[in-house]
Amino acid sequence: MQPGAGQSGGMPGGGGQPDMQEILQQAQDMQQKLMTAQQELADAEVAGSAGGGLVSAVVNGTGELKSMSIDPKAVDPEDTETLSDMVVAAVRDANRAAQEMQAEKMGPLAGGLGDQGQGGQGGPGDLGGLGLPGLG
């Protein structure tokens, strides 16, 4: 007679073994939390600006550029290089804000997965082995 799936410690010498059903449930819960956080990031928007607000960029929480606004005062046909620099700076500023939002939303979740995402240096890449959507 074999022990039921919900019983723990039913195998000889296995009293300290974690319940596989519990582990699977925890993994499913973590996957759901990650997917929810990813959706929240995709739906959220943050702004960045440059040139004292003459150029502004809006990106979503995943860093996708959603809109760009350029004040006519920033447009000088004789100096397009400065305008280009302000556009790049505004997008970088918005992306920095998006990365901060990602760290706030995903950091606590990644922390629950152990030390696999240490320091944020390759965190999602390190988690890709878990087979979770959007993390590989």
So where are the chain's domains?
41-110
d(CA 32, CA 20): 18
pTM of the model: 0.59
Q: What is the DSSP letter of 131?
A: -
The two three-digit tokens of residue 100, written as one number: 């901060």
Tens of pLDDT, residue by residue over 42-79, are 899 999 999 999 999 999 988 899 999 999 999 999 99
Residues lower than pLDDT 50 in the chain: 1-13, 114-133, 135-136
CATH of 41-110 among 3.30.1310.10, 3.40.1360.10, 3.50.50.60, 3.40.718.10: 3.30.1310.10
Look at residues 125, 60, 122, 120 and name the one whose alpha carbon lies nearest to residue 95: 60
CB-based contact 134:123 (threshold 8 Å): no
